Amino acid sequence: MPEATNNQTDTGQMFGLERLAVSVLLGAIPPAFLFLLFWWGSIPLISVAFVRIAALTGLALGIVIDIFVLRKWVAGFYRLGAVQLALIHLFYSFCIFGSFMGVPVVNALTGAATGAYVGRRLANERSSNGVHMLSVNRSRVFSGLVMLLVCATSAAIALGDSSTPANLSGIARSLFGASLAITWNHVVILIVVGALALIFMQDLLLRRVAKVSSDGYRLC
């Protein structure tokens, strides 16, 4: 992720759509996080009948937090430190992974979001080419490691399920109308090739979007 700097980024120059996107990105975190925390955290503590109430309480608390602090967060979006950015990246990576039931394909799109942030921030700060490349490369390494973790988690789930070959055979039959005998060797090959492809795709998206975002805002 980009390094924290002492430069004050002019967030007042956000376009309307950009400000809306940032508001949604940051504003969704407290309600979603507290909803999940109160939901899963309450299961071992209270009766199942009250778990829903606890989850909705967390959701409401998150909305209240947004009401008081979201505007400040949006104003300082391009001044966030590396730890804060890493936590946001991890949070959304986890949410995407869970939403798509452990299939990591969509997680590659986080590369585009990271690239857009890096390019926009560096353009605002009018960073030199050397600083620009250093920040992009650090973002690539961090995003790649997160994607590797996501793929490893997905692989562990797949390898721990004895029905994975049969499930893949069923998917192939429904998509292509072909009856394929999928073995565990095929599963392992698919995991390795798929992980490498996703890491490459995410990295490509990050670099391309960072360049377009940076060049575009430098011209504004």
pLDDT digits (tens, 9 = 90+) for 132-171: 788 899 999 999 999 999 999 999 999 998 889 988 888 8
Q: Final residue of a domain: which of 80, 112, 139?
A: 80
Considering the domain architecture, whether residues 146 and 57 belong to the same structural domain is answered as no
Question: 102 and 209 share a domain?
Answer: yes
Q: Are residues 127 and 150 in the same domain?
A: yes
Same domain, 161 and 133: yes
Which of 80, 107, 137 represents a domain boundary (last residue)?
80
Give 46-69 pLDDT, tens digit per residue: 888 899 999 999 999 999 999 999
- Residues 6 or more apart in contact with residue 142 via CB below 8 angstroms: 1, 86, 89
The answer on 87 and 45 residing in a single domain is no
| Shared-domain flag, residues 137 and 57 | no
Answer for the pair 85, 2: CB distance below 8 angstroms, yes or no.
yes
Confirm if 166 and 111 have CB atoms less than 8 A apart: no
Instruction: Tell me, yes or no, whether 120 and 215 share the same domain.
Output: yes
Residue 213 in contact with residue 116, Cβ under 8 Å? yes
Please indicate, yes or no, whether residues 69 and 92 belong to a single structural domain of this protein. no
Q: How many alpha carbons lie under 13 Å from residue 43 in its C-beta half-sphere? A: 6
The parent domain of residue 56 ranges over 1-80
Q: Which tokens in the block code for residue 49?
A: 């009948």
Do 175 and 113 lie in a common domain?
yes
**Percent of the chain whose pLDDT exceeds 90:** 62
State yes or no: pLDDT of 21 exceeds 50. yes
Residues 118 and 46 reside in one and the same domain: no
Asked whether residue 51 falls in the same domain as residue 13, the answer is: yes
